[in-house]
Chains A and B, each alone.
Chain A
Amino acid sequence: MDIFIQQIINGLVLGSIYALVALGYTMVYGIMGLINFAHGEVVMIGALVALSVIKLLANSGLPGVVIVLIGLMAAALVCMAVGFAIERVAYRPLRKAPKLAPLITAIGVSIVLQNLAMLIWGRNYHAFPPILPNGEHEILGATITSVQIAIIIIAAAMMGGLILLINRTRLGRAMRATAENPGIAQLMGVNINQIISLTFVIGSALAAVAGLMVSANYSIAHYYMGFVLGLKAFTAAVLGGIGNLAGAMLGGILLGLIESLGAGYIGDLTGGFFGSNYQDVFAFLVLICVLVFRPSGLVGEKAAERA
């Protein structure tokens, strides 16, 4: 029983992170109908920038939480700049080009970011310095760390904030209008270039937060971490119904749960034939099943025909 609860907790933490990254994919898709393949790399940049700043300040005597917040601010700023630049350089000039062109530039951007990161931070794994209070709490026979609790709360708060932003503000209304019909939105006086830039910037800020969370929770960051994380977050976005904010959150949490429960029980289910090293297969299988059988996702409205 406690293993079950433990996997649920792990799944929720993982899922919160996926959800934050998935929001970035889904926002961009909702507005431009384009999959931002480079989004995973933005998460990676966020993690590494935050980690560098935190390492720099680790011995400064400031309280751990303050250091992490400073690291987060730095990461968010860098990621927002990167997100802005990606859209400007790789997507905007190709807005009217055939679908394949922005896909290739996105792959190009991913490769560039990954290798820039490799040049800056090297090939090594970077450990997260132990500056956060790492209390462990017992829940129903399972343990949850303070960091994990923080991750879940912060992720929930950020998602709530985003929903308010989209549904309650002028900016959010402009974003929804652009997603609905860019041409008409423009006629109504919405500066769609600005809205698209802002979408990338907001998505990138969320990615920075997610990046920090990954490195804090798993105590590690690496120039190659963005790829698989990005792919899984994308899966989450598709699972929920790409283009749909609530769907991305739901999809993220669900995928986190599926993965950790799957990894926890696959050995038992297959009589030991498959082990937890097949964890990554779940994400891909879920992705393929959703796309093949229900391309509009769990709560989505748009069909795959659109792509």
Chain B
Amino acid sequence: MVDKQQKRWRKILYEDQSVPDNYVDSSFLDELQKNLHTRKYDYWTVCEQSGEVTQQISSLGLFVVAYVYMENGWLSPHTLFTITTTLTCIGYLLKVYIDHYYQDTTSNRTLLDDIKTALVFAGFSYGLSPVLVSLTETISTDTIYAMTAMMLLGNLVFHHYGANAALVSEALSLNAGLFASVCLASRLHTTWHSFSTVTFSIEIFGLWPMLRRNLRKHIPQTQRWLTFLLMIITSMLLWTFSTVAAIFYITLFLFITFICPAWLVSLQPLKNNIHGPWDEAVIEEKKVS
């Protein structure tokens, strides 16, 4: 009996080890591991990567700025259209250059395909702009602003920032942005206004994030400058008509860029993820012929 007690207890069930059923060995929970797969965060890296969020917020800000400028008559729709189309063309050339230089061509679309799509789109939105301009005309301005705010928030929430979360939906995000532009277009009276607003929204909500993603992937060192540049432009333009909006925007920018990363890093020691033999095995996807 004494012999058996002294024999080391083993974690097995097929032998009687002469211990009571509720025996707790000193090796209990030995296989418990904590925080196996957690990432270490570096403050400045997180700060830089927060640019993904602030860039999108800045883009929304620019969209609102363009509307306010047109509403007040400081900006003609033709000028907006010219500026944005020129920028889009430059962006397109940049994309072609990146694709060519980094050999990253996922689709086999040709230049001709892209021009055709652009023309078809421009034609349709130009043809439909009389409809768009009067579509929400009967709705009160307060409702329109509330809806626009909701839609722009929706665009922010569902935008694809790079994480694969269940919430992310690029289509929903783009649609929310377009809906906001259609809402605002009806406050601007002429068909040219509505045409340039919708075109601008496609460019800034649809194409611009794609270009940013390309840049981030291949030339990551551009990101901090792009974030900074967008922030400067947006805050200066906001400042021209609303100091409150500009200050709010800058505060939000600083909060997201510097305080949120610090918050994230400071919360890391609280992470307590338990792993052990009871974890469900995850099948690695291998080529199953």
Tell me, yes or no, whether A binds B. Answer: no
Taking beta carbons and an 8 Å cutoff, which residues of B are in contact with A? none
